[in-house]
Structures are given as structure tokens and as C-alpha cells.
């Protein structure tokens, strides 16, 4: 098979990329491993999506359907139930119900999203009973499969999906005994703390973590302890919860295994390192969405997907793109995206601070912006005018306390 732009992943970023590429008049092929496009949006039945992109509050499935409708307006070859096995040079090997195929392309948009940290990665001692799930799996059980994971649950991690599932489980009749967070502050958005925990009187245990799980065939008890500044459990602070379900909301990891052996990764996010136009260290490989950095809002995922799709199409048409200027993280910057600046388009900075800061000054090039009430859990999004970036061959983003 031959195409101009090959998009890998049919979620919010991939659909946005395919639409933008098709608008440039090139041949576009979209590969999706599930039976339909939409990605994780299909199981996120809560609202809060689309305020930036569609200027309207939608549920996840509604947001996905809007993009699918737009996708259908263009001549885009959408291949579902297709698993990518190899990416080499400008050729991709896929496996689907139609067999094994090799697709040759001029450019690729990598939009594979992120995966949840599994239980094994948390190094929690104890038994290995059933009843331990990631938050995304529980979400799919309830919203798609119409099944409850248990009757009494504890949630580890206060990321947004964990908070949302605390509310969802409660509404379905599951007793949520608490949410445990090892940091001294919540990991999710402030609105989700209010709407998902405080409104339902669900306790939040900060500076705490799970130190042991107990059970035979099914989970029976979870032991929680306070932690010190180095996250070491403090003896004598243990508290035991009798639960049959432990839900893990310990964070997301960009899915980059298909490109990690030949493309540069972003050391701050763990995702594919890209420029502001989505171009990676490999000129024909573009990246977008949570495979580059884990965003707060799906709207940003689609916006950056469109940007990557547009410039992947321009590259496929033979247009020469500008040189990339490195962007490095400075003081108090924990996560930074993008990692290069190209003059072909405007620069939008996505960053997370390394600690809570009441008031700070963000500096990049000759640009300065005062920010207040910064939290590591909430992404800072700033558009930087090009005139402040002229004359630099290297840029640094710093967030200095005021």
C-alpha cells in the first residue's frame, strides 16, 4: 500500500491529524487498533470535554462523535482493528483481519496515546489476589461492560481519572472508603477535587501510600501509611482498610515503544520529543497527543494533532520546513513540551511546575509572564509571540518564584 500521510492512532489527536492532513489535499490513511475510532473518549461518559475546541461542553463519546463526523467529510482511508508491528524508515508493517500489510508513506503522525501505570510498576508488597484494577479498566467495566468491579473500594492516586472514578463508583452504589495520594497535594484538577470528592464526602489521604495488600483469592485488606518527604513509609502510621477492590490511578505513560529505538524522547514527559509543529528528531516522523506529553484537556490533544497533521502533509508535499531551535527546561520546570521551536508556526508552551508556587514569573527568550497559584497537577498553557523569540539559537523555559 502507498499513502502520503499515515496516522497511527484514531483517538482525539489522530483524528485531528488526519482531518488537517486531508485539508492539505494529500492521501491520508488512519490506523486504529480498536474496532472504532475515538480512543479513550468512548468510555469517558462524564462531561467537561470540548469547551476550548467545540466551544461547548460535551461528554467523551459526544466529543468523539463530533470528530468522527468531520472525519467522514474527507476521503480518508480509516483502517480499524489494525495493530502496528514495525516502523522502519518510511514503511510500516500492520496486522489486521485482512492479514499482514506493508504501508509505504511520505510522513507519519504518531498518535498512539498513553497507558496507565500497572500494579507491578508500583512495587507494593503483599499477596496477589484479584480485585486490583487500573482506573481505566474500572471505567471500561462500568461504562462499557455494565459491570461493577466490587462492593467496597479504595483508590490509590488522586489523578483526574481516579477522582472521576471515585464519583462514578459512588453513584453506582460502590462504597469508596477514600483516595490515597503520596504527594502532599492532590494530583488532579481542583474542579475534580470539589466535584468528585468533596461533594460526595469521600476522604482524601495526602502524604500517604499503600504499603501492603492482603487477600487469598480476592482482595480483603489494604494497608496505608503516611510517608515522609522522601516518600518512605513512617512506622506507626499504618491504617488498614477492609475492601475488596483497589483502584490504581498512579499516572499515565506515553506509549512510545514503536519509535523509542530511533527517535529522541522527551526526558521530562517520557513521550516522543517534538517541535511546535509536531516534527520529531526524525524529519518524516511527527507526533501528537498523549504520546508526546500527557495533557490536562482533550481539546489541546486535538489542537496539537491538527498542527502535526498539517505539517506532516506539507512535508509529504515536499515543502521545506524551518530548522528547529532547542527548548530546554529551566528552574521549577518538571514537564516541558515542545522541545524545539520552528518558525513555521506559533509557539504554544505546555509545562508543569515541580512544586506548588503561589506567584511566579515564566521566562522564555525575551518573553515574561506573571503566573499565580501554580500546582504540579495543572498544566500551564501559554502562547508566546514570535517577536520575543527572535535572535535566539537556544531557548529555556524557567518559572521563577516571586
Query: What domains can you pick out in the chain, each with its CATH number?
Result: 1-116+251-321 (3.50.50.60), 118-250 (3.50.50.60), 322-402 (no CATH)
* Grid cell in block for residue 395: 531557548
Across 12-124, the runs of DSSP E, i.e. the strands, are: 28-31, 47-49, 58-59, 76-79, 83-88, 91-96, 99-110, 114-116
User: In terms of DSSP bridges, do strands 252-254 and 285-287 run parallel, antiparallel, or are they unpaired?
Assistant: unpaired
- Per-residue pLDDT of the chain in tens (402 residues, 90 and over written 9): 999 999 999 999 999 999 999 999 999 999 999 999 999 999 999 999 999 999 999 999 999 999 999 999 999 999 999 999 889 889 999 998 889 999 999 999 999 999 999 998 898 999 999 999 999 999 999 999 999 999 999 999 998 999 999 999 999 999 999 999 999 999 888 889 999 999 999 999 999 999 999 999 999 999 999 999 999 999 999 999 999 999 999 989 999 999 999 999 999 999 999 999 999 999 999 999 999 999 999 999 999 999 999 999 999 999 999 999 999 999 999 999 999 999 999 999 999 999 999 999 999 999 999 999 999 989 999 999 999 999 999 999 999 999
CA distance 352 to 327: 15
CA distance 400 to 371: 10
CA distance 171 to 81: 33
pLDDT at 121: 87
pLDDT at 53: 96
Residue carrying C-alpha cell 485482512:
98
CA distance 71 to 17: 10
User: In terms of DSSP bridges, do strands 175-180 and 204-205 run parallel, antiparallel, or are they unpaired?
Assistant: parallel
DSSP-derived 3-state class of residue 14:
helix
pLDDT at 98: 84
Which residues have a Cβ under 8 Å from the Cβ of 326 and sit 6 or more positions away? 339, 340, 341, 394, 395
First to last CA, the chain: 57
For 269-324, the DSSP string reads TSSB--BTTSB-SSTTEEE-GGGTS--S-HHHHHHHHHHHHHHHHHHHTTPPPPPP
CA-based max dimension of the chain: 66
Give this prediction's pTM: 0.93
CA contacts within 13 A on the Cβ side of 298: 30
* Grid cell in block for residue 37: 475510532
User: What does the chain come to in residues?
Assistant: 402
CA distance 219 to 177: 15
DSSP-derived 3-state class of residue 18:
helix
* Grid cell in block for residue 233: 513509609
User: Which phi and psi (to 5°) does residue 194 adopt?
Assistant: -70, -50
User: Do residues 238 and 226 make contact, with C-beta atoms less than 8 angstroms apart?
Assistant: no
Residue carrying C-alpha cell 472525519:
71
Amino acid at each position: 500500500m502507498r499513502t502520503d500521510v499515515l496516522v497511527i492512532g484514531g483517538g482525539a489527536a489522530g483524528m485531528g491529524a488526519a482531518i488537517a492532513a486531508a485539508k492539505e489535499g494529500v492521501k491520508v490513511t488512519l490506523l486504529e487498533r480498536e474496532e472504532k475510532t475515538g480512543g479513550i473518549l468512548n468510555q469517558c461518559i462524564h462531561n467537561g470535554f470540548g469547551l476550548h475546541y467545540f466551544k461547548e461542553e460535551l461528554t467523551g463519546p459526544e466529543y468523539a462523535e463530533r470528530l468522527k463526523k468531520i472525519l467522514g467529510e474527507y476521503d480518508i482511508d480509516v483502517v480499524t482493528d489494525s495493530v502496528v508491528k514495525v516502523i522502519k524508515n518510511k514503511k510500516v508493517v500492520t496486522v489486521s483481519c485482512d492479514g499482514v500489510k506493508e504501508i509505504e508513506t511520505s510522513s507519519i503522525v504518531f498518535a498512539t496515546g498513553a497507558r496507565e501505570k500497572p500494579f507491578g510498576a508500583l512495587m507494593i508488597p503483599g499477596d496477589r489476589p484479584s480485585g486490583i484494577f487500573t482506573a481505566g479498566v474500572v471505567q471500561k467495566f462500568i461504562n462499557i461492560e455494565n459491570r461493577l468491579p466490587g462492593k467496597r473500594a479504595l483508590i490509590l492516586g488522586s489523578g483526574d481519572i481516579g477522582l472521576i472514578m471515585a464519583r462514578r463508583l459512588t453513584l453506582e452504589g460502590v462504597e469508596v472508603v477514600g483516595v490515597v495520594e503520596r504527594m502532599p497535594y492532590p494530583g488532579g484538577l481542583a474542579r475534580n477535587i470539589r466535584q468528585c470528592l468533596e461533594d460526595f464526602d469521600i476522604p482524601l489521604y495526602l502524604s500517604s501510600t499503600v504499603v501492603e495488600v492482603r487477600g487469598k483469592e480476592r482482595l480483603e485488606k489494604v494497608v496505608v501509611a503516611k510517608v515522609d518527604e522522601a516518600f518512605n513509609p513512617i512506622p506507626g502510621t499504618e491504617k488498614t482498610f477492609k475492601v475488596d477492590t483497589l483502584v490504581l490511578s498512579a499516572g499515565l505513560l506515553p506509549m512510545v515503544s514503536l519509535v523509542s529505538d530511533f527517535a529522541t524522547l522527551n526526558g521530562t514527559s517520557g513521550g516522543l520529543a517534538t517541535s511546535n509543529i509536531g516534527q520529531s528528531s526524525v524529519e518524516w516522523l511527527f507526533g501528537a497527543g498523549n504520546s508526546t506529553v500527557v495533557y490536562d484537556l482533550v481539546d489541546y490533544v486535538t489542537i496539537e494533532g491538527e498542527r502535526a497533521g498539517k505539517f506532516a502533509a506539507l512535508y509529504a508535499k515536499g515543502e521545506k520546513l524551518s530548522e528547529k531551535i532547542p527548548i530546554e527546561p529551566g528552574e521549577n520546570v518538571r514537564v516541558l513540551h515542545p522541545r524545539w521551536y520552528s518558525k513555521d508556526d506559533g509557539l504554544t508552551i505546555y509545562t508543569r511546575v515541580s512544586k506548588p508556587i503561589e506567584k511566579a514569573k515564566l521566562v522564555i527568550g525575551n518573553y515574561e509572564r506573571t503566573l499565580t497559584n501554580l500546582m504540579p497537577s495543572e498544566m500551564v498553557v501559554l502562547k508566546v509571540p514570535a517577536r520575543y523569540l527572535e535572535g535566539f539559537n537556544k531557548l529555556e523555559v524557567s518559572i521563577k518564584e516571586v
